[in-house]
Amino acid sequence: MAIINDDERDMLSNRELIGRDEINDYEAIFDLVGVDDGSSSHSVPDKCDAVFTWDYNKGARPKLDKLYEKAKRSQWNGATDLPWETVVDQEAMAVKAYREAGQRPLGEALIAGTQFEKWGEKEWVAFDMEYQNWTLSQFMHGEQGALLCTAKIVETVPWIDAKYYAATQVMDEARHVEVFSRYLDTKLSGHYQMNGHLGLLLDDIVADSRWDMTYLGMQIMVEGLALAAFGFMHSMSQEPLLRQLLRYVMADEARHVAFGVLSLQEIYTDMSAPEIRERQEFAFEAALRMRDRMQGQEVWERLGISKADAAQVTLMDPDRPVFQAALFSKIVPNCKKLGLLDAADGWLRTKFTEMGVIAFEDYEDTTLDLDANAEGTPMERAIV
């Protein structure tokens, strides 16, 4: 992320923000592939101040305090509250999905002239399994990003009510990493390294020393997208353990996004125009990175599919823009509520329009979400 302090400067260009001029430059999007270098960890310097507060007045921010009390009442145990005894036959599910599709999954017209033309059931089933391994791996990595970011928010945010709430979220995120990791280890057939675009974004968020940028990057953008993605997968999956796991995680995520909106609303009110512009730019960079991360680059590479073929099926799939846009159904209304869409002559509105996601601006923001306002564990609420 570029940090420029010139009050009079123009908004940064696409190239300055994301390293390319065209947001739909698919060659650039497919060129960035996450690398598994065999190391067991990855370090990011974060240069932030750990802030003590001497104002212990609990409830000074009533909305955050209310969320904290709800979070304490809504904890669940990832080891004992999910039906881990469920038998998951990943291959059988992939075969069933292939046969029910009644045609090649990507459609004849879409695969004409590509490596996929030669694929039969065996290859498509293998692809389906790889794609599921990849998807759940990215969820797991993203959850670890959230774990680190909320631990950092506990350190950096100056308000006691926010420190208290963020502490509950650290526990939530530990649980999320745990359940996705266990699902991958015991129910699926392999792991993937972090996606290249997701990795860049998480590094940027963690490296920024300003506490409100951690909130914007993680609580609003990454978690807003995760909430929508989990909801989509929950609606598509027929596997009962995964459905329950996702539903329980979603119940927590709605609170997390609401925490972000409620906290940033307060601090943005006092920010200068140049400061808000920088937040708009970061929101756009994050949105695009997350859109680009959805292309499954690491799967194509592992299966030996050329970037050109992968790009062709990605570009032309008639369902993909609808799916991709739906992922922004939480992010756009939350950015609007925070005033980020219309500041700087509507710069972010223009960017979201180019991305094809502006239609979500009048959707409900996440502070109104049922889960964010519910109280009690998922078991007590009997959510499925």
The Cα–Cα gap between 293 and 270 comes to 33
- Between 31 and 375, CB nearer to Fe ion: 375
10 Å Cβ neighbour count for 260?
Answer: 27
- State the residue for tokens 């994301």: 18
Select from 310, 325, 127, 296 the least CA-distant residue to 198: 296
The Cα–Cα gap between 119 and 11 comes to 46
Cβ atoms of 148 and 177 within 8 Å: the answer is no
The Cα–Cα gap between 205 and 214 comes to 6
- Between 146 and 357, CB nearer to Fe ion: 146
- Between 176 and 330, CB nearer to Fe ion: 176
Element (H, E) at 51: none
Q: Where would I find the H helices in the chain?
A: 14-18, 26-31, 62-73, 90-101, 108-111, 121-156, 160-187, 196-207, 211-214, 223-236, 240-269, 273-293, 297-302, 307-316, 320-326, 331-337, 343-354, 370-373, 378-381
Work out how close the CB of 218 gets to Fe ion at its nearest, in angstroms, rounded to a whole number.
Answer: 8
- Between 96 and 243, CB nearer to Fe ion: 243
The Cα–Cα gap between 132 and 337 comes to 34
- Tell me which residues touch Fe ion (CB under 5 A): 143, 146, 173, 176, 223, 253, 256
Work out how close the CB of 155 gets to Fe ion at its nearest, in angstroms, rounded to a whole number.
Answer: 17
- Between 146 and 200, CB nearer to Fe ion: 146
The Cα–Cα gap between 332 and 285 comes to 14
- Between 130 and 223, CB nearer to Fe ion: 223
- Between 229 and 348, CB nearer to Fe ion: 229
What are the backbone angles phi and psi of residue 175, rounded to the nearest 5°?
-65, -40
Work out how close the CB of 233 gets to Fe ion at its nearest, in angstroms, rounded to a whole number.
Answer: 14
Work out how close the CB of 139 gets to Fe ion at its nearest, in angstroms, rounded to a whole number.
Answer: 9
